[in-house]
Structure 1
Amino acid sequence: MSEAIRRAGGLNSHPVAYSAEEDLLWGTMVSKLNAMHPRVASSRYLQAKNRLPLPADGAPRIDDLGQRLNNSTGFRLLPVDGLTPVADFYGRFAADIFSTALYLRCPSRPHYSPEPDMLHELVGHVVMLSDPLFADLYRLFGEATNNATCAQDLQAISQVFWFTMETGLVQEDGQAKAYGAALLSSTGELDKLGTYPVEKFSIQEMIESDYDISTYQGKLFIAQSVEEMASEVRSFLTHV
């Protein structure tokens, strides 16, 4: 077991007790997101939510959630304090490890968090990690990160991760539906979804586009299907 895992209390552990206020914040936001998701979330995400349901009455236990995720796709949860360096965050995917923050966003700004809090990690990423196709994509992001030989390649990987796994859209029944974690974990982002500039899926454009995690999105990319997105991402990650 690594030093990072020992400091965090071990994979899938639950070292945090949440206050009544934090449980209320979690429950309020999850209930609001649950009401929005059927209208704006991709079918893959909705299926994943049924596979790995999250409680709406208080913050979930990481050990229980981590075990259910592990039973689904083999991924495990590593609780961490603060932001994880990008190379470590992505790189651990190759070992079926997802580093999850355990703190909750500021109650005064519940609709969007500029930092990846527990709502973002669990509602967004962890739910999607219960889908075998997405779990495999995360693993490929991890392998590509660990194999990267220069900062330019790592930056390109990070750009593509942002515009797919964080803010990706897919066309379903003539509508844009979200599969990205940053969108699906933010009521503020989902409220504004129809107002964002949306461009055709393009890995090269993603690499060349700027983004700002501290505010709502300035540009999104949409794929014609999850299969198209997955094929393009796999091709990029195996050749980067």
Structure 2
Amino acid sequence: MTSPVASPSSANAKARYLAAPRRSDFTLEQDWSSYSTAEHDRWDRLFARAQTVLQGRACDEFLAAMKTLQLSESGIPDLDKLSARLKPLTGWEVVAVAELVPDDIFFDHLAHRRFPAGAFIRPEHEMDYLQEPDIFHDVFGHVPLLANPVYADFMQAYGKGGQRALALGQLKNLARLYWYTVEFGLLRSPEGLRIFGAGILSSATESVFALENDSPNRIGFELERVMRTNYVIDDFQQSYFVIDSFKKLLEDSYRDFGALYARLADAPDIDADQVTAADRLIHRGTMDYFTLKRASAVH
């Protein structure tokens, strides 16, 4: 997966981790005692805001796992202590890194049930949007569902699949699966659509937009369709894909992707805002948000 370009402000915020010694697998010491009072306070405010917004919007599995892992509004979590609570549940642990790691390293971590989390926290003036993942995105957004056994198995399967995709030159297609599920996935529930993607869960504004705004498409998940679909990296998503269950997502990930990759090699990409005749369409987006934004940029 391609790493986004870091902004100067976020680069400054993580400078102490970029300068810290790192191991061959790109992990490093979190150095929890080095966080300032202001940084802990920033976590607390991000956490409190997300807790309010996600009630009735996050999937039940995420909310239950938050309680199980004792994530709270009490400062940036110590990753060693968090791993000590997580590992007995599903075998996963959380390891600190300074920035996005190379693809082969990332997939190796996932394949061995290690989740690499950025150790720095976003600066104050980037509270609402950060292009690269910080500790709030990674720990608050990603880690809770690793306490869910089915989702935890899916993430390990994805890591192993990533290693194969690299060898076959199919990473572009597999990255789209990660983007539209792990980062920006929605889940169908008896109460309606719910959020499970970390990119949405860690963004108060996108948590509302993804479920309640008329602009984006909401489309039933289909593996090949997702692997053909482009995505947006610097704004809300134009389309969100809705899975039926974590069990079904895991079953899809256990398929042999060899034949699928062969078909994808000759299949054209699908634009992020496009609806196809074969889609299980839950909501056809108006695209109003995106149209107005483009118009205002021109003027």
Per the normalisation by structure 2, the TM-score is: 0.73
What is the rounded CA distance, in whole Å, between the counterparts of 1:214 and 1:85 in structure 2? 21
* Structure 1 match to 2:217: 197
Q: Any conservation in 1 of the 2:25–2:105 contact (CA below 8 Å)?
A: no
* Structure 2 match to 1:63: 80
* Structure 2 match to 1:81: 98
What is the rounded CA distance, in whole Å, between the counterparts of 1:238 and 1:98 in structure 2? 26
What is the rounded CA distance, in whole Å, between the counterparts of 1:119 and 1:238 in structure 2? 36
Task: Identify the range of structure 1 (222-231 vs 48-57) with the bigger mean alpha-carbon deviation.
Answer: 222-231
Larger CA Rg, structure 1 vs 2: 2
| 1:218, distance to aligned residue in structure 2 (A) | 1.6
Q: Choose the corresponding residue for 2:122, options 102, 105, 114.
A: 105
* Structure 1 match to 2:199: 182
- Within the alignment, does 1:147 sit opposite 2:167 as a pair? no
| 1:98, distance to aligned residue in structure 2 (A) | 1.0
What is the rounded CA distance, in whole Å, between the counterparts of 1:237 and 1:50 in structure 2? 36
Q: Any conservation in 2 of the 1:90–1:142 contact (CA below 8 Å)?
A: yes
Q: Any conservation in 2 of the 1:157–1:237 contact (CA below 8 Å)?
A: no
What is the rounded CA distance, in whole Å, between the counterparts of 1:165 and 1:218 in structure 2? 16
* Structure 1 match to 2:8: none
Q: Which has the higher contact order (CA 8 A, sep 6+)?
A: 1
What is the rounded CA distance, in whole Å, between the counterparts of 1:187 and 1:132 in structure 2? 26
What are the ranges of 5 or more consecutive residues in structure 2 without an aligned counterpart?
1-21, 262-299
What is the rounded CA distance, in whole Å, between the counterparts of 1:231 and 1:7 in structure 2? 31
Q: Any conservation in 1 of the 2:187–2:196 contact (CA below 8 Å)?
A: yes
Distance 1:58 1:91, change over 3 A: same
Q: Would you say how many aligned residue pairs link Structure 1 and Structure 2? A: 235
Cα RMSD of the aligned pairs, angstroms, is 2.1
For 1:120-154, what per-residue CA distance to the aligned partner results, in whole angstroms no more than 9, with x for missing partners? 11011111111111111111011112223222x22
* Structure 1 match to 2:255: 235
| 1:190, distance to aligned residue in structure 2 (A) | 0.6
For 1:161-201, what per-residue CA distance to the aligned partner results, in whole angstroms no more than 9, with x for missing partners? 11111111111125110111111111121121222321111
Distance 1:29 1:145, change over 3 A: same
Distance 1:57 1:7, change over 3 A: closer
Find the residue that maps to 1:3 and give its secondary structure: coil
- Name the amino acid aligned to 2:219: E
* Structure 1 match to 2:139: 122
Q: Choose the corresponding residue for 1:222, options 238, 242, 258.
A: 242
- Within the alignment, does 1:167 sit opposite 2:187 as a pair? no
Distance 1:227 1:16, change over 3 A: same
What is the rounded CA distance, in whole Å, between the counterparts of 2:27 and 2:140 in structure 1? 24
| 1:35, distance to aligned residue in structure 2 (A) | 1.4
- Within the alignment, does 1:212 sit opposite 2:229 as a pair? no
Provide runs of 4+ in structure 1 moved above 4 Å. Answer: 236-240
What is the rounded CA distance, in whole Å, between the counterparts of 1:238 and 1:46 in structure 2? 36
For 1:31-52, what per-residue CA distance to the aligned partner results, in whole angstroms no more than 9, with x for missing partners? 1111122210111111211211
| 1:16, distance to aligned residue in structure 2 (A) | 5.7
